[in-house]
Every structure is written in C-alpha cells, then in structure tokens.
Chains A and B, each alone.
Chain A
Amino acid sequence: MALDEIKIGGLGASRRRVEDNRFIRGKGNYIDDIALPGMLHMEILRSPLAHARIRSIDVSAAWAIPGVRMVLTGEMLAARNLAWMPTLSYDTQAVLATDKVRFQGQEVACVVADDPYIAKDGCEAIVVDYEPLPPIVNPSQAKAPDAPLIRDDKTGQDSNVVFDWEVGDREGTDRAFAGADVVSAIEMHYPRSHPSPIEACGSIADFNRATSKLTVYMTTQAPHIIRAAVALVAELPEHMIRIVSPDLGGGFGNKVPVYPGYVVSILASILLECPVKWIEDKSGNLISTGFGRDIYLKGEMALRSDGRMLGVRMHTDSDHGAFFSDAQPSKFKIGLMHSAFSCYDIPTAHLTAQGVYTNKAPGGVAYRCSFRVTEAMYFQERMVQAAAADLGMDQAEFRRINLVRDDDFPHRTPWGFLTDSGQYQKCLDLGLEAIGYEDFLAQKEEARQRGRLLGIGISTMTEPLGAGNSREYDILGIKMFDSAELKVHMTGKALLRTGAKTQGQGHETTWAQIVAHELGIPAEDVLVEEGDTDTAPFGMGTYASRSTPVAGAAVAMVSRKIRAKARKIAAHLLEVSEEDIEWELGRFSVRGAPDRGVTIQECAIAAYSNMPDGMEPGLENNAYYDPPNLTWPFACYIATVEVDPETGVWDVLRVVAVDDCGVRINPMIVEGQIMGGLTEAYAMANMQFITFDEDGNCIGSNYMDYLLPTAWETPGFELHEVVTPCPHHPIGAKGIGECATVGGPAAFVNAVIDAIGDAGVRNIDMPLLPDRVYEAITQGHDISGAPPVKTEP
C-alpha cells in the first residue's frame, strides 16, 4: 500500500519547523555563541563624519591600554595591499580608510584586545584628525557642476556618476507615446531602508600557523562565494580555507556582501596567530552595512482612451553611497528594474538609469528583494494607480484590461523577460471577492459623506525569482546554479547537504520534505545541513528567493538519482529486470505482482550489504541544478485603510493577499513568509526608513530612530492561494520568500492615496508619516522625497 505523503511529511505537509526546536529552547549556535580557546576580540572605530580628509591617526593611547593586543589602521593594511577590496559590482571599497572617509560610520581603525570592553576602550582612545569636506547626500547634489568628487581615489573618475545604462526599445516606445490618447506621468522616491536582521554581522577568524588552515565562522548567506573571494583576495589556497556560516539570526540580503570587519578579523588572526572575534553592534550594522532602495523614478505611461497600456518609459536615479558594492549577479547595472510591468501586456518599453556616488553607506541594495525588483514593482503599481486615475477608470478594471491572460503564456515582457505561467485574472478576482470590493466602494462613499476618509489599494505583480539561469546570471563570473548532496545511510536514514544557507527560511524542514516526496523516506529521517564549505557541496547561497527554485530543484534531482540507483537494487532484490519495476511512494514492486516489493529502506541496506554484481556500493549522490529560467510567482495584495483627516494618522482596516507561488512544499512556512513580507511592506509604507541630514548624519542608526513594526501595530492578514505550477521546476514550485515585501508596499500607499483622492493628491512618497499625509490633505499637494530632517539650531 502506498504511503500517505502528508503523514511522512512530504509535499504539502504543514510540518512543524524542525529548527525551531533548538531556537526556541535557546540552543541555537549563532556567531556570538561560538568561543574558541585563546580568542581575542576586535572592535571597529568608525568615522563620525560623512566626508572628511584624514590628516592623521594617533593610536598610541590605544596601544597603552593594558589588554590591547593590536591596533590596525588603513596605513597598515595598505602596506599589505589590503586597504581596498573589490566589490561584487566591479568597484573597490575601502577596508579601513586611508585618504578620506566617505560616509558616516565608515571603518577607520580596529582594536584587538583581551575582551570586547577593552577593545571598545581602545577605539575611544584613538585620536583621528579630520579635515571636514562638504557632504553629498542625494543624487541632485552629486550631479551638481561644482560637486566635490567623492571617489578621487579612482583614476579616470571625474564625476560622481557611477553608471549610465539603458535597456529596451527607445524608438518603439517613442512611437507608442506619439500615438497615445493619454500620457500619465509621475515622479517618485523609494526611500533608503535597511534589512536590519535581528542579529548583526560578525566573524571569528582562526588561522592555524601549524596547519596553515584558515577557518572563518561568519554570518554569511553565501559561504562558498566567500571562500572563493578570500582565496582570490587574500591569495590563500582555497582548500585551506573553511568558511562556516552558523545559525543566522536573519539575513534579508544584509549578509551577502563582504564587510571590512570580516576582512580585518582574518588579517588580525593571521598576524596574531590566534582566533579573533568581531561582533558588530546594532548601530554599526545599521549605519555601515548593505542597505536597500534609495532610488528616484520618473515614470510615464502611454495609454489608449479605452484603458489599454501602449508603452512605458522609466528613468531611475539611484543613490549607491560611497562605493558601488551592489550585491547583484546580473549584468544589468540597475538590477532587474526592467522586470517592471511583466504582468501586464505592454508592447514596448524603455528604461534609462543613472547611478551616483554619495556620502552615504554603500552597497547591498537587497532587502528581501531580487536586485531592485522591489522598487520596480512599487513604481509599477503606483504608476498603474495614477494612470487609472488619469483615465478616470476603476483601478481594478484597469488592471483587469491589461493583465496578461492565461492563454498568452509563454509571454515576452516589455523588456524581454519570458514569463511562463500564471492565472493573473483569477488571482485578482479572488482578491476582489475576498475584500468585498463593490461593498467597500459603497461604504467608502457613504463614509465620505460623513467626513471620514476610507481608501482601498491594490497591487498586482509578477516578479522574477530564483537566479539563474547561468547564461545571464553570475557573481564575478561564477554561474548561478546550485547543488545538493544526498547520502542515504544503510538504515534508510539520510543526510542532505546543499549549497544554500538557511537564515530563517526553514530549509532544514522543507528540503527533507522534498526528499520525502521523491523517495518516500519520512522527512523526520532526513538530516539537513548547510553552511560549512568543508562539507557542503558548492553553491551560490540563499537570497533573491532562489533557494527553492534552484537548491530545492537540486534536492529533487539528487533524490531522483538515488531513486534510479535504488531501482536497480530493487530489480536485483526482486530478481526481475529493471523494466519490470514500478515505483510508488517509498516502494518498488514488480509489474503485475504488486505484492512483491521492497521499500526504499530495504534498498538502502542492500546498497551496503547485497548490491548487484558490478554495482558501486553505497547510496549517495549529488546534483548541480542550472535552472532553465527564473520562476515567476504572481501576487494580488489589497489593503483598505481609514485616514484621520485631523492628524493624518492612517489605520489599516483589512489586508487580503492572494499568492500564486506554484506548488507549496510546506504551506505553513509559505504562509509565514507571506505574513513576514506583508509586515515589512506595511513598515516600508508607514515608518521604516533611513534618512540623512544635510551634514550626512544617518538618521536611523538605532532602533529608537529606525522603526521596525511590532505585533502591536502590525495589521492582521487574510491569505488566499492559487496554484499554477512552474512548468520548468522539478516539483512545480516558484520562489515566494520576497513576494509580499515586493508587492505589498504599493497596496498600502495606493490605499492611502485613494482615501485622500478628493484632495487632489497624486503621490506621497514613503514613509507615509502622519505629518506628510496631513500636509497632503490640507495643502492639496504631493509630498516628495525623503522626509525633511533639517535640525534647527
């Protein structure tokens, strides 16, 4: 009899997360839990100024403190050719500043001491003489003719422009606009935010002079890439480098880049020949590590009076901070911005993009999004709402007219991506029905008569998740595939390792479910390990919602290789030819004689005790998976709000989410991902942003200023699903981790704009703080840019 797949924790089982057992008992093993014998502690001295020339650094008082073992400066690193490091976007980034500091919080010196208190005292004792330079905090300042040159370290860099880039059909788009009945234009800013995982970054470098082996425990989402980078930058042999990424307290893209703290801790360990631990504090994390967003849009849509979209133009100005260190694996300078409008049937589009340096923290750009997809979909859905208003058309109907239809797949998007599956209209209809669209519109009108402001916002989008394929996506030339290695022990229990790295997504639970689905081995019999480069197969790590699309596919493929070998063993055990063997979950049987069979566990023991003549013993294998395409989940998010016209405070009434991420492996985990993403979407719209004053001081350097939502204000979410399997993924799954963060913000902003529509307001840039909403209502004008933070004397 066939196994009950749900009972063994296979596909579709909302199995409890196995990792939570240790997390909720305080038995996790995070970077700061690790202590090695003889370990020293490192602290970073950061720049208080956004832009300044370093006249001198006096470290003598730090050396004089008992317990201080080493003080490192940029000058010392320069002597070893380590003062600068390459970034993932083919730029350079200062490890410790030598000539200038270029953002507030930049790493200037490091102190290694017996304990972290002494290290901190040592940093306070260092005297740096700065000559302040004028700071640049936004693209328009960066491009001003008399702007000071931030990157005067780079030969040939004579302005603050990082890149100019374009994609799409300029002439075709011009023609579409020339023939348009209506052109809808809007300008927007997506403010800077920070992923802010609850655990900041850290490393313990342990160089053993006797074995010449370097072990680095490190908070990284991509340990194998780090190993390769260390081998290349530090010129150490790759087989003598071991990167271990322990339990991670969140990542959200923040733990993809290489940070100066990692590099200096490695150098200090090599120089001191003992383990050196660096644990970043929360403020250090917020002011210096990979941020998200910070980009301006000029968008235009060409429309026919009947509501059809004819073409789209977008221009973005992005603020990259002091170093271009975007961690994104595409050849496209502005990431996947041109995945905007992929869910709409639009003939032509053109995008121009310019990036600039500013005196702000560099790099990252991912915050739970695939390389600018969050900004793309926010801009898209705000432009869609504005266009519907310009046409005088209902915002739901406008979407319905233009969404790609089910029979149009595969569909070429306006910028050339190929989407392969979806039921967009069905998702929209389900969302509208769930929220009670028509009833709400009536309710809104009735409330308006009584002076109350209700609003409804919709966001529909598909996004590209799961890089690669390897043709188009690579990191420093390394292709974006992923891997899995499965060892089935003789008792039928199994060890699975992948090149991904879980940081809260639940891989230890989900991967075992894929094995259970493919082999019938109960999920609880599968141990999942990731993060140690000495044991895990090579992989590109976890970000961009790529684990299930790529590593998850590799898990299915390696399981199938195991099954193919087990089939041969089964034929041997059952004494029939392989062609006469049939498979049902967990068991092989003889065609026509279903009572004669062997379980996968019986095949496992036979692989070690009774294999066929000539067969290699054992039951283990690996698989490298290079996906043929990205996966394209679809989402429809709808929010309703009430705005208090007297204060501008807005409250969320309801949130409906319809997600189609294909086949769901563990529905509970999927729902958790969606709820977490919607929480962050709500936060982006409402409160969570990093801004800078005119002196370049970071406003948002701690949790008093950088607000993450708590359970108290986070609204409830009503989740619905549609399942359109991914046609090219082995089990039909699509990425989901980032959908709600990507598609959610526009739903909230659209709802607030809808509520105050009578005021003649077209746009309020996020965050929709009460004072900004109040100003828009009472003054009847748009609110643009980052919130003003001018501090009066």
Chain B
Amino acid sequence: MYPSRFRYEAPSTVAEAIGLLAAADGEAKILAGGQSLIPMMKLRFAAPAMIVDINGIGGLNYHRADGDGTYRIGALCRHADLEKSASLGDHQPTIAAAAPVVADPLVRTRGTLVGSVCHADPQGDWASVMVSLEGAIVAQGPNGQRSIPVDDLIDGPFQTVLAADEIAVEAVVPAARGTRAGGYLKLERRVGDFATVGVAVSVEMSGDSVAKAGIGLTGVGPATINASGAAAALVGTSLEADAVDAAAQLAAEAAQPRSDHRGSADYKRHVVATFVRRIGAQIQRSEQKAA
C-alpha cells in the first residue's frame, strides 16, 4: 500500500510536538496507535503533509486513579493495557466491559483510548463509554491545557473542536459520588468489525437507588450519541425492570441510525433498547449479589 508522500517527525516532548503542529498549519496528523490513521492513509482517504509520531514521548502510557477517585488515561495507554488492567474493574466497570470488545487483539495492542475518542468515528466504542461517564479530554496547546467534556469535543463525524496545534494528552473520568456500576454491549458481525450497535450504560448507586446515570450510543448516528434523557429516566430508580424499560425506549428514540448493510434503522433502535435492558439487568443482578 502506497500512501501519498508525507513528512515524518518523532518529537520527544509534548512541547516539541505542539511546536511541530503549530508550524504545520493544520496539515499535520498525530500518530499514536495509528489503527485508523494508517488505513486511511494507505487508501489515500487521508493525505496529511506531516505525521507527528508521539510514541517517543515519555510518560503518556499510564492509566490510574487519583486519591480522590478521578481516573486518568494517558494518550499512549493502549486498549490492551486497559483490557489487561488488574485494577480497572473495581474503579471503572464500564471501561472494563468495553476494553475487551474494542476491535480485535491486534488493534488493541497498538490502538489508544485517547486516539480513538479524538478520531471521532461514530462507530468508535470509547467515545460512548466516555460520554456515559461524563468524561473529558485534556488538550494541551501553545497556551497550556484545557479540559473538554467528550460530549462537547465531538462536533460531527470524524470532527472535534481540538485546535490544529492542540494534542489530547489524557482522558479524565471524574470521581464517582456513589458506587459505580455499568456495562458495554456491542453487536458486531465479526470480531474487529465496526459496531452495528454499541451501548454504554454507567450509573452511580447510592444505596440501592441510582444517583447518577449516563448512556452513550455507538454506531447509531452521525456522531456518538449522548442519550441523556434516557439516562435521566434511570435516576432515582432501583433499576427495576419497568424503569429500565422506560430508559431503553428513550435510548432507542435518541438513536438516529441509518439502514445499511449492517441492519435496518428499526432493527438498530431495537437493539439499542435491548442492550439497555440487558445492561440494566446485569447491574441489578450484580448489585443483588453484592448485597
């Protein structure tokens, strides 16, 4: 495969990378895992004048919880790091559920969560997960850092509000006020296929009632969908079947799927509702087990 010609730079610091991006005047792309960028370049759908390879920048491959419970995932943390993380399940059940179903094992070894979110593919798994968790991306530019909620970051298919000279250096999930629970379900025709439908549900439980909830939808709209109305319907409930069912219907209505070779629009809405119900039931079962 023969991409168009490009200049390749491998800076060793974030500041150096930002300098390169600024000088490239919007014609540069950042290479982290490369699992979307490289295929697009090989097909010449993307022909950036410069590649800024950030893999040589130290200290970006972490994922960790701060003392207050804030969870941070560095720009070079691979999907496989999350999949194999021993501590993740306790802190971040939705992320833990999604990590093993992202793409296939080969992609997971190289690809990054931050890169996936910033790629803003409506069929990307991580943006839905982050939306359900009210997660944010920390962007660093010439004038320092700013935090952008993922819900605001993505403003269209493959489009973000990141400036041309900004690098997303980490993803942040705010600390939970209650006990976290959640799940991610995905329908795909085959391992590594783009999601026909993906649903992320994250809740914070206070006792046996839901204090806070988020629902993100993958692959059923022009961008990742924040089904906030559906999530709101869960708050104050104990995830009883009727309540989850109501949220499932709202989530299906929030979806904006298209009919394509992965399935009809009606079918995709139906699967959204089914998956909300299934994750609700999963959470309820595990809560009962814990109690």
Contact = CB atoms under 8 A, between A and B. Distances in A.
Interface stretch (A213-221, A587-595, A709-717): A709-717
Interface stretch (B67-75, B167-175, B191-199, B283-291): B191-199
B7 interface: no
B270 A774 contact: yes
A719 B192 CA distance: 28
Nearest to A283: B43
A481 to B, nearest CB: 41
A707 B190 contact: yes
B159 interface: no
Interface stretch (B9-17, B80-88, B109-117, B253-261): B253-261
A689 to B, nearest CB: 9
A712 B270 contact: no
Contact of B104 (A646, A712, A770): A712
B86 to A, nearest CB: 23
Contact of A707 (B4, B44, B189): B189
B190 A770 contact: no
Contacts of B1: 281
A771 B263 contact: yes
Given A774-B270, A775-B267, A647 B191 contact: no
A71 B4 CA distance: 19
A705 B187 contact: no
Interface stretch (A313-321, A344-352, A470-478, A785-793): A785-793
Contacts of A691: 261
A788 B262 CA distance: 9
Nearest to A118: B2
Interface string B255-277: 00011111110011011001000
A102 interface: no
B264 A707 contact: no
B258 A771 contact: no
A116 B267 contact: no
Contact of A116 (B2, B192, B260): B2
Nearest to B5: A117
B206 to A, nearest CB: 31
Contacts of B192: 710
A121 interface: yes
Interface in B189-221: 189-194, 196
Nearest to A689: B261
Most buried by A among B3, B44, B270: B270
B260 A687 contact: no
A117 B42 CA distance: 11
A704 interface: yes
Contacts of B261: 691, 699, 705, 787-789
A788 B5 CA distance: 38
A788 B264 contact: yes
Of the listed residues A769, A770, A790, the one surrounded by the most CB atoms of chain B closer than 10 A to its CB is: A770
Contacts of B258: 791-792
A482 to B, nearest CB: 37
A124 B44 contact: yes
Nearest to B105: A712
A704 B194 contact: yes
Nearest to B277: A646
A520 to B, nearest CB: 47
A506 to B, nearest CB: 27
- Chain B: interface size category: 20 to 34
Interface residues of A, number: 36
A770 B187 contact: yes
Interface string A686-708: 11000100000001001011010
A124 B2 CA distance: 12
A649 interface: yes
Given A121-B4, A789-B261, A774 B190 contact: no
Contact of A771 (B44, B194, B262, B274): B262
A497 interface: no
Contact of A709 (B2, B187, B190): B190
Contacts of B2: 43, 116-117, 119-120
Nearest to B271: A647
A774 B267 CA distance: 8
Interface string A349-360: 000000000000
A106 B187 CA distance: 34
A58 to B, nearest CB: 20
B221 to A, nearest CB: 13
B260 to A, nearest CB: 6
Interface string A558-587: 000000000000000000000000000000
Contacts of B191: 710, 712-713
A702 B262 contact: no
A746 to B, nearest CB: 21
Contacts of B274: 646-647
B267 A771 contact: yes
A704 B188 CA distance: 12
A648 B268 CA distance: 12
A710 B259 contact: no
Contacts of B187: 647, 649, 770
Contact of B189 (A647, A687, A775, A790): A687
Interface string A128-145: 000000000000000000
Given A116-B2, A707-B193, A710-B191, A791 B267 contact: no
Nearest to B104: A710
Specify which of A116, A686, A787 lies most central, judged by the most chain B CB atoms within 10 Å of its CB: A787
A686 B193 CA distance: 13
A139 B258 CA distance: 27
A124 B192 CA distance: 30
Interface in A625-660: 646-649
B262 A710 contact: no
Of B44, B189, B196, the most chain A CB neighbours within 10 A belong to B189
Contacts of A709: 190
Contacts of A707: 189-190, 193
A712 B267 CA distance: 25
B275 to A, nearest CB: 9
A712 B274 CA distance: 24
A411 B189 CA distance: 43
B5 to A, nearest CB: 7
B34 to A, nearest CB: 16
A609 B236 CA distance: 99
Contacts of B196: 770-771
Contacts of A117: 2-3, 5
A788 B190 contact: no
B80 to A, nearest CB: 15
Contacts of A120: 2, 44
A771 B259 CA distance: 11
Contact of A791 (B44, B260, B262): B260
B264 A713 contact: no
Nearest to A120: B2
Contacts of B259: 788, 790, 792
Contacts of A792: 258-259
Contact of B260 (A119, A702, A789): A789
8 contacts: A686-B189, A713-B191, A770-B187, A770-B189, A771-B263, A788-B261, A790-B259, A792-B259
Interface of A: 43, 116-117, 119-121, 124, 281, 283, 646-649, 686-687, 691, 699, 702, 704-705, 707, 709-710, 712-713, 769-771, 774-775, 787-792
Give me the 8 closest cross-chain CB pairs, A-B, nearest first. Answer: A771-B263, A771-B267, A712-B191, A120-B2, A117-B2, A707-B190, A789-B261, A687-B189
Given A709-B190, A774-B270, 15 more contacts: A121-B4, A281-B1, A283-B43, A646-B274, A648-B267, A687-B189, A704-B194, A705-B261, A707-B193, A710-B192, A713-B190, A769-B263, A770-B263, A771-B196, A792-B259
